[in-house]
Structure 1
Amino acid sequence: MWQYLAVALLISVQINKAQTCDSFKSLTILHTIHGTNVKVRLLLYTRIDGDCGSLLSHTNLSAHPQLNLSRPTAFVIHGYRPSGSRPAWLNQIIELLLARSNINLVVVDWNHGAGTVNYLAAVKNTQKVAENLTAFINVMQDHGANLSSIHLIGVSLGAHISGFVGANFHGQIGRITGLDAAGPTFTGLLPEERLDPTDAQFVDVLHTDIDSLGFRETLGHIDFYANGGADQPNCPKTIFSGEYYFKCDHQRSVNLFMDTINGTCSSRVYPCLSYKDYLDGKCLKCDGFGNMGCPLFGYDSIKWKDYLPQPNHAKYYFSTNGGSPYCKTNFKVDVIVWNTETQMGYITVKLYGDSEEAVAIIKHKTLEFKKYKETTLLAGFDRDISSLKKVSVKFHTGKSLQPKHKLRILRLRLTPLDRTEKPLCRYDILLDEDKEVSFMPVQCGDATF
């Protein structure tokens, strides 16, 4: 009897919760064709009800006792929604942000306004959304909220909305994170007409689609360029992949940021004049950041706020994997050869642990190996090997119809960039083309070549 009562009570609680919870509202294709007027819905999530959104009143905050303004508040603001659908990443970012910090998490649902096939109409609506959010944050201030404790996370058009809101508060908002801020119609505009560094105390911006839907130039106190900021690994290269071809690079910004929220997968970034120079290993020094080292991309980048030069127009580069976990483990690889003739080719390095391996294929350009001249490379391994057992190296030219070559390595040095361990070396290695050679490296000696 009690079992039946317990089941009935559980069903009743679930039904009541479903009736009181609210969520992001998807639109139909008819809505997007005809267009929609702006309507901003603010959905509150907390650790108490992380899977249950509460529709906030824009004016009567006393009706929401779960909104605790002594805690920090984060706003997640989506971008253009041509299909009117719910963002695929929304549930995950809610879960991750609440797990990381005990905050008020407000999802800004402006699908009515963003859900239209007319991109220019959505752009025009961003100002109206910003006015709405500004009014709401003013009410929060009236109830004791501190602007410094507010974090706006804006995706695409949402990044510029965040900038407009921040400008309305004269840069007193604590932080704005722009995830591949929209480029079309915003490129070339004055700072006050888009996101810019004066919009918050700290503005961090990620670029993943600068050659299409994203913004190319710097917008924040620190600007991250993943894989050069354009083509992302495992994204389609041709239009034959359908709509995913158009949105994959752009949407990757959200996936990369989410991967950093729990602190287990953050990529070290390096200020550099170009992505090519970064890949060539020319920008791997981290002087000027105190004892912090080069910044980390993502949620924890604010820790470098006081170490960044101002104004900071540098571009910070990093490389990623094609799927989660996106972070790579980076090593600087220095090679000295003693071939009589210059050798041209590529290098593949593998790290082996107890039961796993990590690979770095260095092929962004043909490398030139000259006798006694040190060649520096950046090797980004697809995973971290905590207990290194051995290393393997393979030399290849990519020219299958020509005679095989040999690379005579006088010294190979592996320097970890993501931790403080000492460099590892191997001396006197003979590499036959396309044949992998394995060895156990040792700590480098003091000898120079």
Structure 2
Amino acid sequence: MAHHWNRILLLGSLIFPLCYTAVKGNIPQNCTDFQTSSWRNILQMLDLSVQFMLHTRQNPDCAQPINDSNDIRNSNFNGSLPTKLIMHGYRITGSKPSWVDTLAKELLDAMDVNVVIVDWIIGSTALYHNVVQNSAELGLKVSILIRDLMSHGSTEDSFHLIGISLGAHVAGFVGRMFKGKLGQITGLDPAGPKFSKAGVDERLDPGDAVFVEAIHSDSDYFGISRPVGHIDFYLNDGKDQPGCTRPFLTSGLLERGGLSADVQPKEVKVYLMTSSQPPFCVKHFLLEIFYEQLGSHEQRVKIKFLSNSHSDISNLQLTIPKKQSSESIIRKVIPYDARFGNMDDITIQLLSSWRKKRSPIHIEKIRIRELHFNGSERPPRCIYNILLYREILFEQLANCL
């Protein structure tokens, strides 16, 4: 199976197409770039006009066209290396995806591979219903390309298809044509509309490749929420991402670490959190609240986690159940950006309601434990015997007894 890529960075800035020249041997070549589309193209019902562009470490900034066997033969394509295919999704603006160049460079920085970018701007700029229909034809064209690349030395398991939004389901369609024998599929925010209730033969599914993963970061808007891979990652619960405003007809910003998958489980959900700034990774802490005395109705509390410099580094709102509840422990995972220092203090605020009077809450213990990562872990830290009746309570964390 193809080696897994180490990291992906998707940027939201608009990049206008550029043209470069590169040299392979002594032969100058013109670089190819994305096409552009417009609603005039749509009204004229033009052909899908798919083109395939190759980047390698020999030509990282200058894409070579590989639309047929002759192009492949005259390019830097190396059939002994893994091949990554990138497929964008629905494009309402008819312009080049702003993140695609960065993604290609990140893949080449991570390993020596062939990176093939699939440009189907013409077919992806239309009414969404029509674009979904066009995606089937795109899948056929991508399948033909893969067979051409295999005739130049590639193997089925050396292919890694990376599709964002609608492109993720196209990757699944291609994988089914190869009976699930392609090495890997990564679905970045697989599209939800038209696919949320679709059967396994009509959307991305674990059977589409040897290993299928999906990364969900917009499942409450245009992304699909159901699991569609062997492993599904839900960044920040798979919904709104920190530092990202709600975009118009686009998906959120994502970041992902490397993943080792020697064993392919079936539809495992993995939840993790990110920060709003690069490199986006955060530590994860388990918060446990052991409480005794409860009020006559549910109450809301807000907890702020502070660094040693009293910077606000994480926030959490919780519902404390009423005294009839059989529960006695609340457990939550919280993110913590270590750039701001150690987590030393917390404030607890009992939120008021115009309908309900605040009642005292007796918390026996609050315990915070850093989830194990790379063999290093701080000892658990605790606060004991808290009687919460004031609006805001300040407490310092200490080593647990």
- TM-score by shorter chain over 0.5: yes
Given that 2:285 and 2:336 are in contact with CA atoms closer than 8 Å, whether structure 1 keeps it comes out as: no
Q: Deviation of residue 53 (structure 1)?
A: 1.3
Q: Residue 292 of structure 1 corresponds to which residue in structure 2? A: none
- TM-score normalized with structure 2 length: 0.81
Residues 1:360 and 2:360 are matched in the alignment? no
Given that 2:175 and 2:209 are in contact with CA atoms closer than 8 Å, whether structure 1 keeps it comes out as: yes
**Alpha-carbon displacement from aligned partner over 1:220-250 (angstroms, at most 9, x marks no partner):** 112233344444456557xxxxxx3432xxx
Q: Residue 144 of structure 1 corresponds to which residue in structure 2? A: 153
Partner residue of 1:433 out of 381, 390, 399: 390
Secondary structure of 2:94's counterpart equals coil
Q: Residue 411 of structure 1 corresponds to which residue in structure 2? A: 365
Q: What amino acid does structure 2 have at the position aligned with 1:74? A: K
Q: Residue 60 of structure 2 corresponds to which residue in structure 1? A: 50
Partner residue of 2:330 out of 354, 376, 380: 376
The 5 A counterparts of 1:387-426 are 388=342, 390-399=344-353, 407-419=361-373, 421=377, 422-426=379-383
Secondary structure of 1:306's counterpart equals coil
Secondary structure of 2:201's counterpart equals helix
Secondary structure of 1:316's counterpart equals strand
Structure 2 residue runs without a partner (length 5+): 1-18, 23-27
Aligned mates of 1:31, 1:340 — CA distance in 2: 65
Residues 1:171 and 2:126 are matched in the alignment? no
Aligned mates of 2:207, 2:102 — CA distance in 1: 30
Q: What amino acid does structure 2 have at the position aligned with 1:213? A: F
Q: Deviation of residue 404 (structure 1)?
A: 6.9
Partner residue of 2:81 out of 71, 75, 78: 71
Q: Deviation of residue 314 (structure 1)?
A: 4.5
Q: What amino acid does structure 2 have at the position aligned with 1:435? A: I
For residues 328 and 101 of structure 1, do their structure 2 counterparts lie closer, same or farther at Cα, with a shift above 3 Å needed? same
Residues 1:349 and 2:304 are matched in the alignment? yes
Residues 1:131 and 2:131 are matched in the alignment? no
The 5 A counterparts of 1:13-412 are 16-17=21-22, 20-60=30-70, 61-64=72-75, 66-116=76-126, 118-233=127-242, 244-247=247-250, 251-252=251-252, 255-256=253-254, 259-260=255-256, 263=257, 300-301=258-259, 303-306=260-263, 308=265, 312-321=266-275, 324-337=278-291, 339=293, 341=295, 344-353=299-308, 357=311, 359-363=313-317, 365-368=318-321, 374-384=328-338, 388=342, 390-399=344-353, 407-412=361-366
Q: Deviation of residue 49 (structure 1)?
A: 2.6
Secondary structure of 1:192's counterpart equals coil
Aligned mates of 1:214, 1:372 — CA distance in 2: 37
Aligned CA-pair RMSD: 3.2
Aligned mates of 1:357, 1:97 — CA distance in 2: 36
Given that 1:337 and 1:372 are in contact with CA atoms closer than 8 Å, whether structure 2 keeps it comes out as: no
Structure 1 residue runs without a partner (length 5+): 1-13, 238-243, 264-299
Q: Which has the higher contact order (CA 8 A, sep 6+)?
A: 2
Q: Deviation of residue 207 (structure 1)?
A: 2.9
For residues 188 and 373 of structure 1, do their structure 2 counterparts lie closer, same or farther at Cα, with a shift above 3 Å needed? closer
Q: Deviation of residue 157 (structure 1)?
A: 1.6
Give the structure with the higher percent helix. 1
Q: Residue 11 of structure 1 corresponds to which residue in structure 2? A: none
Q: Deviation of residue 339 (structure 1)?
A: 4.4
Q: What amino acid does structure 2 have at the position aligned with 1:380? A: I
Aligned mates of 1:48, 1:91 — CA distance in 2: 15
Give the structure with the higher percent strand. 2
Q: Deviation of residue 401 (structure 1)?
A: 9.6
- TM-score normalized with structure 1 length: 0.73
Aligned mates of 1:433, 1:235 — CA distance in 2: 34
